[in-house]
Chains A and B, each alone.
Chain A
Amino acid sequence: MNKVLLILIVFKLNAQDTIVFPKIDLYKRNIIELSVGLPLGQLSDKYESSINTAFYTRTKIAKHQFIDFGAELHGIVSGRAISYKVTNENVVLNGSKSAFLLGFRYTRFLFRSKSTNFHIESNSGIGWKYLHYRKPETEAFDSIDLKPSLHTIAFSQGLKVMFYGFGLHCNYQYSPYTLFNSKAEANFGASSVNFGLSGSWNF
Chain B
Amino acid sequence: MFFASCSIENRINRDDYKELPIIFSVSFYDKLASIKSQYNTRVFTNSFVKQLTDIDNIDYSKPIQLNIIKNELFLKFQDNDKRKFILKFYGKLYNKKFVFYTNYETVSLPIIFITKNMERFTVYFPNENEIIFKKSRVDEGMLLFFGAGNSSNSEYKFKLLKNE
* Nearest 4 Cβ contacts at the A-B interface: A57-B108, A24-B101, A16-B84, A23-B90
Which chain A residues have a beta carbon within 8 Å of chain B's beta carbons? Answer: 12-13, 15-21, 23-26, 29, 57-60, 69-70
In the assembled complex, B32 has its CB within 8 A of some CB on chain A: no
Complexed CA–CA distance, A20 and B101 (Å): 13
**Which residues 66-120 in B have Cβ within 8 Å of A in the complex?**
82-90, 100-104, 106-110
Which chain B residues have a beta carbon within 8 Å of chain A's beta carbons? Answer: 53, 82-90, 100-104, 106-110
Q: A59 to B86, Cβ gap below 8 A?
A: no
| Distance of A183 from chain B, by nearest CB (Å) | 31
Complexed CA–CA distance, A24 and B100 (Å): 9
Residue in B closest to A19 when the chains form the complex, CB atoms:
B87
Complexed CA–CA distance, A69 and B114 (Å): 11
Which residues from B are CB-within-8-Å of A23? 90
Q: Known contacts A21-B102, A24-B104: does B109 contact A59 (CB below 8 Å)?
A: yes
Complexed CA–CA distance, A171 and B87 (Å): 44
Partner of A59, one of B88, B90, B107: B107
Given contacts A16-B83, A59-B109, A70-B110, 15 further A-B contacts (CB under 8 A): A13-B82, A16-B84, A17-B84, A19-B85, A19-B86, A21-B89, A24-B90, A24-B101, A24-B103, A25-B104, A26-B104, A29-B106, A57-B108, A59-B106, A59-B107
Q: Known contacts A57-B110, A59-B109: does B88 contact A19 (CB below 8 Å)?
A: yes
Residue in B closest to A61 when the chains form the complex, CB atoms:
B107
Q: Known contacts A23-B90, A24-B90, A69-B110: does B83 contact A17 (CB below 8 Å)?
A: yes
Complexed CA–CA distance, A69 and B106 (Å): 13
Complexed CA–CA distance, A21 and B100 (Å): 10
* A and B contact pairs by CB, cutoff 8 A, 6 listed: A12-B82, A18-B87, A19-B87, A26-B104, A59-B106, A59-B108
Which residues from A are CB-within-8-Å of B106? 29, 59-60
| Distance of B130 from chain A, by nearest CB (Å) | 24
Complexed CA–CA distance, A21 and B88 (Å): 6
Q: A18 to B86, Cβ gap below 8 A?
A: yes
Complexed CA–CA distance, A23 and B90 (Å): 6
Which residues from B are CB-within-8-Å of A58? 108
Q: B53 to A19, Cβ gap below 8 A?
A: yes
Residue in B closest to A67 when the chains form the complex, CB atoms:
B109
Which residues from A are CB-within-8-Å of B86? 16-19
Q: A16 to B85, Cβ gap below 8 A?
A: yes
Q: B85 to A17, Cβ gap below 8 A?
A: yes
Which residues from B are CB-within-8-Å of A19? 53, 85-88
Q: B87 to A21, Cβ gap below 8 A?
A: yes
Residue in B closest to A16 when the chains form the complex, CB atoms:
B84
Which residues from A are CB-within-8-Å of B87? 18-19, 21
| Distance of A39 from chain B, by nearest CB (Å) | 29
| Distance of A107 from chain B, by nearest CB (Å) | 13
| Distance of B9 from chain A, by nearest CB (Å) | 15
Which residues from B are CB-within-8-Å of A16? 83-86
Which residues from B are CB-within-8-Å of A24? 90, 100-104
Q: Known contacts A17-B83, A19-B87, A24-B90: does B103 contact A69 (CB below 8 Å)?
A: no
Which residues from A are CB-within-8-Å of B89? 21
| Distance of B12 from chain A, by nearest CB (Å) | 21
| Distance of B129 from chain A, by nearest CB (Å) | 28
| Distance of A164 from chain B, by nearest CB (Å) | 13
Complexed CA–CA distance, A60 and B82 (Å): 41
